[in-house]
Structure 1
């Protein structure tokens, strides 16, 4: 009986566990009518997650990541018409293991939305 309960606990925990952030993600979104398309790669060293995001313009930006339960916040720089930007993505996991949420672009005070899907390893 103990063995059955332990097995049930492990399988239930795995079923409700959030996906791991480290890995490659494809980001699609929109900010004030401007499409956002990025590929981000995150790595984890102990409790610190870092990485980089590459935009459709081919530029790569160092990215910091914070995870709090199902909430994920990642931040990186950017540029628009020569002006330096900070993009903050705040998302939560859905039942498919994808992220979705809001994008905040400063100092322009623009807002948008995004979805992120983990890229399958090939």
Structure 2
């Protein structure tokens, strides 16, 4: 039984160290040659995470879902006067940043993104 205890402690510490979504994030990405640059701010009330993302001077309400090890955030957009829905699906890396894919509907385009938290707490 002794070998299991250190593994359990390590697993529990890893879970407790999981980064949190609420805060400010800088998102960079690419959708079929078009750059994506936006700033998002997320807040949490009870078990609901919401916020907004600003891109090209426009602010879009954003919803956030945590599913297994993925962070999914969705907001509107616009391209040539056509309404869009952008869905970002990412996972955390070892530095607490997110990276993953972007789906653009109804156009059916996809791309990739990285997101860095801009208000990381300072180490004490």
TM-score between the two structures when normalised by the length of structure 2: 0.84
Structure 1 residue 120: Cα displacement: 2.4
**What is the CA–CA distance in structure 2 between the aligned matches of 1:39 and 1:78, rounded to whole Å?**
14
Structure 1 residue 13: Cα displacement: 3.7
**What is the CA–CA distance in structure 1 between the aligned matches of 2:74 and 2:13, rounded to whole Å?**
28
Q: Is the 8 A contact 1:18 1:70 kept in 2?
A: no
What's 1:111 paired with? 110
What's 2:26 paired with? 26
Q: What are the superposed Cα offsets for residues 57-98 of structure 1, whole Å, 9 maximum, x if unpaired? A: 100000000012421000000000100000000000111101
| 2:79 pairs with 1:80 | yes
The correspondence of residues 42-121 of structure 1 with structure 2, limited to 5 A, is 42-55=42-55, 57-120=56-119
Structure 1 residue 18: Cα displacement: 1.4
- Which blocks of at least 5 consecutive residues in structure 1 are unaligned? none
Please provide the CA RMSD for this pair: 1.9
Alignment length (residue pairs): 114
**What is the CA–CA distance in structure 2 between the aligned matches of 1:69 and 1:117, rounded to whole Å?**
20
Q: Is the 8 A contact 1:73 1:91 kept in 2?
A: yes
